[in-house]
């Protein structure tokens, strides 16, 4: 998650504070920001764009693997057939 989103989320959390806590706004916003950064780093989140790229790469890899498995079975069948004829 980029720094801008963390800033926006911390500001949003600060805005929804009860009126009695508004005097602590600056301090609480700093705390929100620190807690968000610390926890989001632990979660190792990726952007939607990066996720989509990796999902596409995985789909292509699975398709290639299926084709290779099919080709391997054909080659094994040819090899087995050649051994029987020999």
pLDDT above 90 (res 79):
yes
Q: What is the mean pLDDT of residues 39-65?
A: 90
Q: 21-30, 44-53, 64-73 — which one is most confidently predicted on average?
A: 64-73
- pTM of structure: 0.52
The domain segmentation of the chain, as residue ranges, is 1-45, 47-86
Please list, residue by residue across 46-72, b when 16 or more beta carbons sit within 10 angstroms of its beta carbon and e when fewer do.
Answer: eeeeeeeeeeeeeeeeeeeeeeeeeee
pLDDT above 80 (res 60):
yes
């Amino acid at each position: 998650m980029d720094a801008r989103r963390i800033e926006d989320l911390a500001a949003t959390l600060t805005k929804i504070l009860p009126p009695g806590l508004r005097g602590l706004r600056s301090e609480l916003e700093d705390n929100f920001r620190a807690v968000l950064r610390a926890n989001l780093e632990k979660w190792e989140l990726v952007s939607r764009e990066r996720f989509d790229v990796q999902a596409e790469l995985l789909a292509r890899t699975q398709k290639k693997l299926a084709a290779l498995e099919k080709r391997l079975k054909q080659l094994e069948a040819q090899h087995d057939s050649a051994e029987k004829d020999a």
